[in-house]
Amino acid sequence: MDKHVVVTGGAQGIGKAICQAFLEEGDWVSPWDIDNEALLELEEEWHAWRDRILPVSCDVSSYEAVHKAKNFLTQKWSKVDVLVNNAGVFIHKPLLELTEEEWDWVLGVNLKSIFLLAQALLPLMPHGASILNIASTRALMSEANTEAYSASKGGVLALTHALAISLGPRKIRVNAISPGWIEVSSWKKKRERQEPFLRPIDHLQHPAQRVGKPEDIASLCVFLASEKAGFITGAQVVVDGGMTRKMIYAE
């Protein structure tokens, strides 16, 4: 309660669910997002929490934009207790068609941003603070034509344990969460929002017997940022309904 929480990519999808979970805990939340339309909708939708949210428009892959956002944040807040690096983009494209610009974009948003945010906000983070990085099970397994995304998420895991070691003396814990299939259709901005369309087989291929929800990730973020998780750092927690543990044979 009363933590100050920054969530990148916080206006839609998993990031929005994470913001809501911390707000429900009584915390102060600053969603950072490049989508201004989604940020405005967030303010309207969360009118009851208007005094506890601080929306920030920011391209988290840009050093200049991150430091401009930080300067804005420090006009309102004196500290950041929790940083959730959730912003992410995905390209599904054959290797021979993937451009250097697309590769740099994915690595910039998904991986470089974590370095930029951690470096920029570290002076505001007190002892006992926490950094949570949203990785992916695609850091552990792949399907074809996902080179940029898979590489970026593999980098997130490595950066997580590197930061955990470097920031340990400051008593700042750093952990990663690797979601599997999380259905976010109902957590998008209004003009893209829709009811999820899921087949029975989509659920049944998970040992947990269902597809994941953004709330599954959000509740884990709240726990990992709490004192109850005080002995957990440098860890990766896979939240995928058991899919990466399931052996698959052709029938």
Q: Does 250 score more than 80 pLDDT?
A: no
Domains of the chain: 4-245 (3.40.50.720)
Across the range 212-237, mean pLDDT stands at 98
* Per-residue model confidence (pLDDT) at position 181: 94
149 belongs to the catalytic site: yes
Q: Compute the distance between CA of residue 217 and CA of residue 213 in angstroms, rounded to an integer.
A: 7
Residue type, 93: K
Band the pLDDT of 1: cuts 50, 70, 90: confident
Q: Does 198 score more than 70 pLDDT?
A: yes
Q: What is the DSSP letter of 212?
A: B
* Per-residue model confidence (pLDDT) at position 66: 98
Give the contacts of 22 (CB within 8 A, at least 6 positions apart): 3, 5, 7, 29, 82, 221, 222, 225
Q: Compute the distance between CA of residue 40 and CA of residue 53 in angstroms, rounded to an integer.
A: 12
* Per-residue model confidence (pLDDT) at position 125: 98
Q: What percent of the chain has pLDDT over 70?
A: 100
Band the pLDDT of 248: cuts 50, 70, 90: confident
- For 169-195, b/e burial (b = at least 16 CB within 10 A) is eeebbbbbbbbbbbbbeebbbeeeeee
* Per-residue model confidence (pLDDT) at position 192: 83
Mean pLDDT of the chain: 96
Q: Does 251 score more than 80 pLDDT?
A: no
Across the range 32-43, mean pLDDT stands at 97
96-109 pLDDT, tens digit per residue, is: 999 999 999 999 99
Exactly one of 22, 32, 46, 149 is catalytic; name it.
149
42-66 pLDDT, tens digit per residue, is: 999 999 999 999 999 999 999 999 9
The pTM of the full predicted model, rounded to 2 decimals, is 0.96
Give the contacts of 53 (CB within 8 A, at least 6 positions apart): 19, 23, 28, 29, 30, 31, 42, 43, 46
Q: What is the DSSP letter of 5?
A: E
Across the range 109-114, mean pLDDT stands at 98
CA angle at 121 for the pair 38 and 13, rounded to the nearest 5°: 25
Closest CA to 90 of 159, 15, 152, 39: 152
Band the pLDDT of 194: cuts 50, 70, 90: confident
Taking every pair of Cα atoms in the chain, the longest distance, rounded to a whole number of angstroms, is: 61
* Per-residue model confidence (pLDDT) at position 8: 98
Residue type, 199: R
Q: Compute the distance between CA of residue 63 and CA of residue 107 in angstroms, rounded to an integer.
A: 14
Q: Which helix (H) or strand (E) holds 163?
A: helix 147-167
Q: Compute the distance between CA of residue 23 and CA of residue 160 in angstroms, rounded to an integer.
A: 25
The C-alpha R_g of the chain, in whole angstroms, comes to 18
Across the range 169-189, mean pLDDT stands at 96
Band the pLDDT of 247: cuts 50, 70, 90: confident
Q: Sort strands 28-33 and 236-239 into parallel, antiparallel or unpaired.
A: unpaired
* Per-residue model confidence (pLDDT) at position 129: 98
Q: Does 33 score more than 80 pLDDT?
A: yes
